[in-house]
Amino acid sequence: MHSKFLSLILIGVGITGAFAQKAEWRYSTPNNYWKSDKSAKWSNAPLSTYETIFISDEKAQYIEGLGGTFNELGWDALCTLPEEKKNDIIYHLFSNKEANFTYCRIPIGASDFGMNFYSLNDVADDFEMINFSIARDRHILIKYIKEAQKIQPDLKIWASPWSPPAWMKTNNHYASEYDESPTNHNGLSRERALELPTTGFKMQPGYLNAYALYFAKFVQAYGKEGIRIEAINIQNEPCSTQKYASCTWRPEDMAYFIGKFLGPKFEKEHIATEIFFGTINRDNPQFTRIALDDPAASRYIKGVGFQWDGKGAIGAIHKEYPQLKIMHTEAECGNGSNDWSAAENTWWQISHYMRNGASVFTYWNMILDHTGTSPWGWKQNSLITINTETQAVVYNPEFYLMKHLCHDIIPGAYRLQTPSDRDDILAFENPDGKIIILIANRDVQEKKFSLSIKGKFLNLQIKGKSFNTITL
């Protein structure tokens, strides 16, 4: 093949001659979002000045779903709007005519974008969980989820804690890190801060049994509200100390908890929710291998969740443990820029995780107010920004990127193999045989592609600085 051609194999199963009649193409550029382009032309041969992309029929991983995260501060911002505006935002996130989010994350108790510290049982040493309650969630997170379910009735949910109840931790506090800032104070003294690589959970039978019961009651309580929890990741970022809700865990201790307490508890209670070893934010695969090679824990671990620095371990773990599901658990949240550059960075994450076996991709904050700032002072990105003073609503570039990803790809799709050395193209096949090709052009210059499909060629001129969805 000439050097001007791409040595690229995309995939397409059951391609028929009908594809030569219809190709739907949408693109977004920094100043023009979700537009149709009708310039694609079919030909019997590739155009000589175009790079040729061949479509074949090899499948990779099954796609469970794609979406974002429900957080308290997002609902708080949403509730400042009139009902019509609020409903419009929910529609744009969850309607299959819009962004079509199908699989989303929720925190179990406090997160860094919750309003403050809390858990589902803050009564110290309540080992029998007599005081367990989701009453707070019924007024905030569950209302948020219920609004989404009105639009996306089959919406799937997975969950993870940022911290166990404080009384289960060795420092008896939600935070792990001493906060030196003058404006933010979490009340944790320097002397009681957690230290890596220690475990911040009290590894005593009473607390381990209580925590397994806590997870079981959480799944059961949400189920009674009509919200099935598909999967849980045991701990958000166990490899970090934070001034917000957090808890460090050694992998040996997480495995011990799963194998001896949580797994058997779910088994006894006939809880079908899958247990994931995550969310792992360590780039060394050995951290994850320790748990996956534990005989007791491995019985119950159905997958691994990775985020942030975990991106450095995902390739090795997927290759070594192909039977396990891989979940991308949190998009890197930036510093509130909400610009095109942030969207390009998120595209790289989508491409990297998907090409390395992820069956789920989870954006972080779907909605934030115009400050974008957590109670701990970290200004972050969101898909949608609500000015709570003027009620202006802005759909940021990352919203449109996620729309390109999620609009056409549905649960039950398969990713289609593409060369490992290319991060600008992804392909998927839906259960109905529809083929979706995503192309990102991060260069300023236009690029020209000929998609080779069943002996025909679809010729595309891809705009500079653009995200593209081609549906066949």
Provide the mean pLDDT of the chain.
93
Decide if pLDDT at 134 tops 90.
yes
What's this model's pTM, rounded to 2 decimal places?
0.94
Structure tokens given for 17: 């001659």
**CATH level 3 topology of 64-411:** TIM Barrel (3.20.20)
Q: Give the C-alpha separation, 201 to 215, whole Å.
A: 15
String of DSSP letters for 97-130:
TTT---EEEEEES--TTSSS---S--STT-TT-T
CATH number of 9-57+419-471: 2.60.40.1180
Q: Give the C-alpha separation, 93 to 345, whole Å.
A: 21
Confidence of residue 13 (pLDDT cuts 50, 70, 90): very low
Q: What is the mean pLDDT of residues 398-423?
A: 93
Q: Is 470 strand, coil or helix? A: strand
Decide if pLDDT at 190 tops 70.
yes
Task: Name the residue ranges covered by the structural domains of the chain.
Answer: 9-57+419-471, 64-411
Q: Give the C-alpha separation, 106 to 103, whole Å.
A: 10
Q: Give the C-alpha separation, 122 to 173, whole Å.
A: 11
Burial 12-35 (b: 16+ CB within 10 A, else e): beebeeebbeebebbbbbeeebbe
Decide if pLDDT at 22 tops 90.
no
At residue 12, the pLDDT reads 37
Q: Strand runs (DSSP E) across 123-259, as ranges? A: 156-161, 229-233
